[in-house]
Structure 1
Amino acid sequence: MSDSERLAALGYRQELRRSLSILGNISMGFAVVSPVVGLYAAAQVGMSVAGGAWIWALPVCLLGQSLVVAVYSELASQWPLAGGAYQWSRRLAGPRTAWLSGWVWQFAVMFGNTTVAYLAAPWAFALFGAVPTPSRLVLTAVGFMLLCTLVNAYGINLLRWFVSLGIAAEAVASVLVGLSLLLVFRKHGFSLVFDTLGAPHALGIGTGSALLAVLAVGGWAFIGFDACVSTAEETRDAGRQVPRAMWWALLSVGLVVILNAVSVELAHPSPADVVSGKDLDPVTTAVVSGFGGWAEKPFVLVVLVSFTACLMASQGGAARGLYSLARDGVFPFSRQVRKVNRHQAPIGGLVAATLVSCAALPLGLSTAAMGSLITFGSAATFVPFFLLCAIALTARLRGRWQPAGEIRYGRWGTALNLLAVLWTGFEVVDICWPRAVLAPPGAPWYQVWGAVLGVGAVAATGVAYLLARRPHSRLAEPVTDGPAAAGAGAAAPAGRPG
């Protein structure tokens, strides 16, 4: 069965350009997970909370996220569709659950793009030696967003070219810098990775509480692999290649992140300064200390390219997720959002995703508000992970779902699924737990509670829309596939266009 025939069997026409190979699909996942972006998001906070011992959170989070990829692999293999979490939930649990899961997921991705664009802006000022102000940072972030929108609007081939160029520079620089710091410029012994440097005591918390906090932070470095699923309808032989791409994206980025985390820590001239808050950029400090002042500008350029590639790929994923919801007529303004342009790019979803992400950028005028957005983005990402893993496990145990795609883990699949539920459930609670130690000193209460408030607000808005407009009524009830039907690609028919 060809890709187009398989898509038709799942109830949809081939509207997007199917031109990605497995390498192109991997590049989308690699760019969104991004070792540079992930390390910058976690290193300073991790060291300030748990000292040198923070890096042990990374392999734990990588192992936990591997459990999630195992579940996603079986689902993506059987139903290789854009908007995976929404589409899979629809077939396993029904329209209401699927719609709400898709709603929360989409806003998490779109607000995550707000955060990436805002965090990329200071690097543009650093590259040119300019002094940023809050308003200039916001305007620069808007510029990044519009640039990435323009590239995405020209279709998957141009997006792939830009993203591949970005991750090539990032991967080479990350590996070379990481190995050089570790092998040539190392200043400390490996015992540092077992030393908390008194960070928990200084914060007034126990070592166990500190390690729980860095597990909440470390999870951020290993999300984004599901961007491979977003481009499933543009990938050749998607049922077989998308699961492989997710594994390659997660494991390759995971190993590079761990390598660089260890390297930065051991090559940093004074880890105690990071713990005390004197050094808020330990990655750049370690690189410049090792390579010399000449390395600062090239390194800043690599970081800027990495953030840009991450934003491009993630924005493309958000657009395709909205397209998947809108073609079923279940998203506001579906007729406009589901439009595809002459380059076979989901232009309606792209415009909608850009507008939502840019609408949140004025929060960058208040650093406390932007901090709340960061914690919300992390929590809202793990909530759909948990929900989908729980839905899949329930469907397995009730006999409603037996994996029937190219990728199947047999009797191990249920055990892996159970562990994935336990892991993602733990992370949701851990991330949402209000901790003053993960907020800037003197942060307002709403930033400390940012994850709970953010997820709650998006979920409440979704429930209100669900009750008022009943979008799920446009969708047929899910089909309980038997093994033969599932293998043939049977699924609930597509919804009516909105």
Structure 2
Amino acid sequence: MSTAREPAAAPPAAEPGDADSARLAALGYETHFKRDMSLWANFSLGFTYLSPVVGVYALFAFSLATAGPPMIWAFVIAGVGQLLVALVFGEIVSQYPVSGGIYPWARRLWGRRWAWMSGWVYLFALLATIASVSYGAGPYAAAMLGFRPTATTTIVCALAILAVATLINLSGTRWLALAAIIGFAAELLGALAVGIWLLATERHHGLGVLFDGQGTGSGGSYAAAFLAASLIGIFQYYGFEACGDVAEEVRDPARRIPRAMRMTIYVGGAAATFVTLALVLSVADFGAVISGADADPVTTALTAAFGSGMVKVILGIVLISFVSCAMSLQAAASRLTYAYARDDMIVGSRVLARFSRARHVPPYALLLAAVLPAVLVIGSKLSADALTKIISFASLGIYLGFQMVVLAALRARLRGWRPAGHFTLGRWGLAVNIAALVYGVSAMVNMSWPRTPEAPWYDDYIVPLSGAVVIVLGLVYMAATRHYGRGDAPAGDAIPAAGRAAPATDPLTTP
């Protein structure tokens, strides 16, 4: 059996009689993580990464101003699309419950090169998202503490959030799980309480308004406005993959992780939709939002419903949501980095694959997931525009990483792969896989579509350009270092031997 290289001076492996460790050993690995994460903790990790509060509060004003109240239907469309992706991921992680998520899944389904590039894109996206979530908390911290947000104070707040998230992650899986459950409970209860109170005290409209665009759209076409506003749904529904990133820290992962992924979509999507519904019906003047006179309808509605004193309490819950989201993102990024390093697929593998004997976490991989986002945040002091360009890639990169796995799964199915984990879709697998790919590609096209013709062309095309830059950098890295060929961990073995022959012209196909 092929075994991945282990770091020097690693702590003893899990008990040989443990069924989960035996299953992992059959896949070619030994684990040094502790399986301290329950189903609810695993779900909470995905929920806090998805973070309904962070996603809704960040994009509500833009979406409402762009397409009016019907923008809420974007949550339904994106929820169904991402559920298809989650079902495909569930089949994969059930058969391959290995830490790192996107990278090891693509490795088993396709091969080393495809997996390396999938992980590279996803890691860049995660690091950019950590920076954007931390930076985005600044205005809420300023409002809660009563000072005017400036570039400097926003950076300080972002660094503080990164520090707290890192300390929680460095404390070990048990503390990460506890913090995720606390974050989930605070965010869900806060979202429900705010939504119910808004509907009870500040409701200004009936449900019919959800079908009224309020005059938005240009040239008589509403479709373009809705597609732009639907980014709120596209940006909302990821995070469920984090449940699989920590597969070696979950008990009975082959059964529990697919369920936790689906729960993340159901509960997180329902919470986001409910909060959005309450906010939409609580906006007194849609015209003011659409014209820009009310640039922050969330704060306007909350202040009207709760008063300035209670709003600070709500903002405190929002900050907890931001910290929990950054913490979950960091956990995902560190496990991906560790998975790379364990297979000797990246510069600095010997260091990044090291484990803390006391905490059972990869401390240097975690520090990397803190330092690089901190550099991006600090760099905004020199050029906020540069940070914006980096962050523009974040969501596209996550979707691209997803679809590289979905495509790998489809290719593997067509070459004979039959999912063999505890969770399978049976005869519906191929249809769901194709539908997930169609949705994902459509979402990426929507994210990349140029919508600011008045801006310089490179700003209008910033999302696809940033994606192209990351991919080109990855190809240069691959050609210069050939790290993708190191290590002897299994690759491409999902496909039966008879179906493994690949076209020689495909540079990313060789296992």
TM over 0.5: yes
Q: What is the CA distance between 1:50 and its match in structure 2? A: 0.4
Q: Sequence identity of aligned pairs in percent? A: 37
Structure 2 CA distance for aligned equivalents of residues 114 and 444 of structure 1: 25
Q: Does 1:426 align with 2:442?
A: yes
Superposed CA offset, 1:413-472 (max 9, x none): 1100000000001111111112228xxxx7655443221122111111111010011112
Q: Aligned partner of 1:274: which letter? A: V
Inter-partner Cα distance in structure 1 for 2:202 and 2:312:
19
Q: Does structure 2 retain, via aligned residues, the 8 Å contact 1:89–1:97?
A: yes
Structure 1 position 394 matched with structure 2 position 411:
yes
Q: How does 1:327-476 map to 2 (within 5 A)?
A: 327-341=342-356, 342-365=358-381, 366-399=383-416, 401-436=417-452, 445-476=457-488
Whole-angstrom CA distance in 1 between matches of 2:391 and 2:468: 15
Amino acid across the alignment from 2:238:
I
Alignment match of 1:289 (pick from 286, 304, 311): 304
2:45 alignment partner, one of 23, 28, 31: 28
In structure 2, the residue corresponding to 1:292 is in which secondary structure?
helix
Q: State the distance in 2 between where 1:217 and 1:379 align.
A: 13
Q: Per-residue CA shift, 1:56-111, capped at 9, x if unaligned?
A: 11100001000000100000100011111111111111111000000000110011
State which drifts further: 145-154 or 405-414: 145-154
Once the two structures are superposed, residues 16-47 of structure 1 have per-residue CA deviations (whole angstroms, 9 ceiling, x without a partner) of 11111101101100100011011113211111
From 115, 118, 125, the counterpart of 1:108: 125
Residues 415 and 495 in structure 2, CA contact (< 8 A), matched pair in contact too: no
Counterpart in the other structure of 1:322: 337
* Alignment partners' CA distance in 2, 1:479 and 1:376: 28
Letter in 2 for 1:466: M
Tell me which of 455, 478, 493 is aligned to 2:491: 478
Supply the AA of the counterpart residue of 1:106. L
Structure 1: gaps spanning 5 or more residues: 485-498
Superposition CA RMSD, Å: 1.9
TM-score by length of 1: 0.92
Report the CA distance between 1:269 and its aligned residue. Answer: 1.8
Q: Distance in 1 between matches of 2:372 and 2:195?
A: 36
Q: Distance in 2 between matches of 1:281 and 1:11?
A: 52
CA offsets per residue over residues 192-230 of structure 1, 9 Å max, x none? 1112122223xx683111122123342101111111111
Structure number with higher helix proportion: 1
| Deviation of 1:481 (Å) | 4.3
| Shift in alpha-carbon separation, 1:472–1:298, aligned structure 2, 3 A | same
Asked if 1:154 corresponds to 2:171, the answer is yes
The answer to whether the aligner puts 1:246 opposite 2:281 as a matched pair is no
Partners of 2:220 and 2:392 in 1: CA distance: 20
Partner of 1:163: 180
Deviations 1:285-343 (A, max 9, x none): 22222233332111111111110111111111111110011110101211111111120
CA shift in 2, pair 1:125/1:237, >3 Å:
same
AA aligned opposite 1:99: W
Q: Is the 8 A contact 2:352 2:364 kept in 1?
A: yes
Distance, in Å, in 1 between the alignment partners of 2:184 and 2:147 is: 26
Greater alpha carbon shift after TM alignment, 168-177 vs 210-219:
210-219
What is the rounded CA distance, in whole Å, between the counterparts of 1:396 and 1:227 in structure 2?
Answer: 24
Whether the 8 Å CA contact 2:247–2:257 is kept in 1: the answer is yes
Distance 2:443 2:74 in 1: 12
CA distance in 1, matches of 2:64, 2:19: 50
Distance 1:170 1:433 in 2: 32
Q: Report how many aligned residue pairs link the two structures.
A: 477
Task: Give the conservation status (yes or no) of the 8 Å contact 1:115–1:374.
Answer: yes
TM-score, normalisation: structure 2: 0.90
Q: 1:445 to 1:129 in 2, by over 3 A?
A: farther
Q: Unmatched 5+ residue regions in structure 2?
A: 1-17, 498-511
In structure 2, the residue matched to 1:48 is 65
Q: One-letter code of the match for 1:429? A: V
Distance 1:370 1:50, change over 3 A: farther
d(CA) in 1 for partners of 2:233 and 2:410? 25
Matched, 1:122 2:134: no
**What's the offset of the Cα at 1:263?**
0.8
Query: Which shows bigger deviation, 474-483 or 231-240?
Result: 474-483
What SS is found at the alignment partner of 2:217? helix
> In 2, distance between residues paired with 1:367 and 1:443?
17
Aligned positions of 1:224-235 closer than 5 A: 224-235=239-250
Between the aligned partners of 2:158 and 2:392, the Cα distance in structure 1 is: 19
* Partner Cα distance (1:116, 1:315) in 2: 11
For residues 127-276 of structure 1, the aligned pairs below 5 Å read: 127-201=144-218, 206-276=221-291
Distance in 1 (alpha carbons) for counterparts of 2:370 and 2:455: 29
1:256 CA drift (Å): 0.7
